[in-house]
Every structure is written in structure tokens, then in C-alpha cells.
Amino acid sequence: MKIVVTGGAGFIGSHLAGAFLEAGHDVVVIDNLSSGKAGQVPGGAVLHALDIRSREASELISSERPDAICHHAAQMNVRHSVEDPVFDADVNVLGFLRLLEAARKAGTKTVLFASSGGTVYGEVAELPTPESHPTVPVCPYGVSKLTGEHYLEYYHRTYGIRYVALRYANVYGPRQDPHGEAGVVAIFSKALLAGSGARIFGDGLQTRDYVFVGDVVRANLAALESSWCGAVNIGTGTETNVVELHALIRRVTGVDIQPEHAEAKEGEVRRSVLSYDLASNVLGWKPMVALDEGLAATVDFFRSRP
């Protein structure tokens, strides 16, 4: 099978490109390298340094005629989406729609879509949150991801393209970007290993569901081979607040520096933890890597890269 991985030079995308290659697929990567790194693209995959919004990216889909697209290129910063919702929509909605149109014309049969279980539901009444919960996002990033899901459902009903919208919890692990606002595990790990204090926004009692990147890769492989079509949560069912997370990473790094607190971010939900019951039923998937084990692997990665 030929698979195009957008964002394939980034954190999750590069892991997926490698896994698809190991499974025997042909892999083509599209990444504008704004945050991804060419050195992370696995050998055997062909990298095209293109923006998904460009005409060249659509033309590449037309010429490659992939069997599947695994879409991970995105504007993924919640805070930036609040500050510049037009840019967020330009990348996450219009950029994705251009790819979908090219895929339709090229005869692509399957789309795996990186959605966001942490933002599409908004403030929730049920924890762990199932896919049946109302989706009322409170930030533009969540709106753009949910819009992508709606377009996928349209393309499925109208053109027969099967899709799986993987509603990720907070993904962490080796290769995560420790710069900017996204990727709190990487940010805390890098700061503590450098001997400096990390910053917690608000009181730090906001909770998140942290899922290891290796488990996310397994979910995508299962989704590719399944017959399931629709949205599915990819999380652990366990919530951890930010203060607790910082304490865990302090213990793993062996660096006992207390965090600083800053003003809370706009657009952040208070609690987020996902039910993975549907993923277990339709994909045969469940998380395998415990948080302490995944944090140790992540810290080891950053420790080896001063």
C-alpha cells in the first residue's frame, strides 16, 4: 500500500512513517519543515518539503495516487489558535480540505486523521469522556479539528472514502518538540534536565490524559487495517494534573526544582480524560505503556540530546 504521511517529519508523523515502512508499505512524506526535522524522516520514505496549503502538495497527491493518507500536518498550538484563529483555520481547515479534494480525485480509499480528544469535547460532563459526548470546543483549534471530522464524514457519505478520526489525548514521547507552548512533557523534561524551573499555567490542577507515542502508532496501524469508519478516542482513561506530572518528571530526572506559576491560558479546558472503550471494541486497541514507563523513555531521549 502507498501511504502519504503529512507532517511526517514531526513528532508523531515520523514515528508513523517508520512504522508504516516496517509494515511493508511505501511511504511518501509531506512536511513544510516549519517544526518537523528532515533528519527524523526514516530512511526509505521519500520527503517532499511542501506546505499542505500549496498547489504543489495537491499535485503531488494527484501524481502519487496514494491508497491512504495519514494526516498529521497541523497548526497544533491551542494558545496560538486563540491569538490567530484565521491562521489556525487556514492550515487546519482549508489546508486539509485541499488535500481531501486532491485525494478524492486521485482515488484514495482511506484517510487517517489526527483529531484532538483534548479539545473537540470542550468542558465535559462525563469522565472518562466517550465519543458519544457532545462536542462543544472552547478554542479555535478544537473547532478546526472538529470541522475536519465533519468534512471527512461528508467525503465518506458522498464519495465512499473511509476515514478514522483518531481523537488523541495528550501524546508524549521521544522526538516531541520541547519548544513553544505545546508538548508539556517535553517542555518539563528539557527544562529540568537543563537545571531550570518549568512554568505551570494557572494553579496546575487542570488534568490531562497522557498517552505514549508508541501506543498512538499502534492505534494508527490498527485503524489502517480495520473496517471501522468514524471517530475514536485514543487515550488511557487516566487523568493526571499538571502539578502531579511535574512531580513525576522531577523524580524521573532526579532534578528537584520547583515549578513557577504563570497566568492561566485562554481556551484551556479544566479536565480532560478519554474513554478508550470504543477503540478496544472496533480496533482491538488499548494503551500498553504506563505513564512512569513512558516518562522514563522520554527523559532518556532528551538526556541523550543535550
Q: Model confidence at 7, in pLDDT bands (50, 70, 90)?
A: very high
The per-residue pLDDT for 119 is: 95
In a domain, 132, yes or no: yes
pLDDT at 28: 98
262's CB contacts (< 8 A; 6+ apart) are 199, 200, 201, 202
Residues 106 and 192 in one domain: no
At 52, is the secondary structure helix, strand, or coil?
A: coil
Total domains in the chain come to: 2
Averaged pLDDT for residues 182-209: 93
Same domain, 196 and 143: no
**b/e map of 114-138 (b: 16 or more CB within 10 Å)?**
bbbbbbbbbebeebbbebebebebb
Same domain, 166 and 263: no
Asked if 197 and 139 sit in the same domain, the reply is no
- Tell me phi and psi for residue 197, to 5 degrees: -80, 145
6, β-bridge pairs: 30, 71
CATH of the domain at 15: 3.40.50.720
pLDDT in tens, 99-150: 999 999 999 999 999 999 999 999 999 999 999 999 999 999 999 999 999 9
Q: What is the pLDDT of residue 180?
A: 60
Lowest mean pLDDT among 26-35, 74-83, 86-95, 226-235: 74-83
Q: Is the pLDDT of residue 33 over 90?
A: yes
Domain that holds residue 254: 184-207+238-273+291-303
Q: Note the pTM of the prediction, 2 decimals.
A: 0.96
Residue identified by cell 521519500 is: 46
Q: What is the layout of strands, in order, in the sheet containing 162-168? A: 46-48, 26-30, 2-6, 68-71, 110-116, 162-168, 230-234
Nearest to 35 by CA among 148, 182, 161, 134: 182
Domain assignment present for 176: no
The cell numbers describing 209, all together, are 490524559
Angle between helix 184-193 and helix 291-303 axes, rounded to 10 deg = 50
Same domain? 16 vs 144: yes
> CB of 166 within 8 A of CB of 115?
yes
E-strand ranges in the chain read 2-6, 26-30, 46-48, 68-71, 110-116, 162-168, 170-172, 199-201, 207-208, 210-212, 230-234, 240-241, 260-262
Mean pLDDT of 33-39: 96
pLDDT interval class at 181 (50, 70, 90) = low
pLDDT of residue 129: 98
Half-sphere exposure (Cβ direction) of 141: Cα atoms closer than 13 Å: 23
Question: Any idea what the CATH number is for the domain that residue 257 is in?
Answer: 3.90.25.10
Confidence check: pLDDT of 306 > 70: no
The per-residue pLDDT of the chain, averaged, comes to 96
d(CA 204, CA 61) in angstroms, rounded, equals: 43
End-to-end Cα distance, the chain? 38
List residues with catalytic annotation: 141
Same domain, 159 and 295: no
Q: Does a structural domain hold residue 178? A: no
193 three-class SS: helix
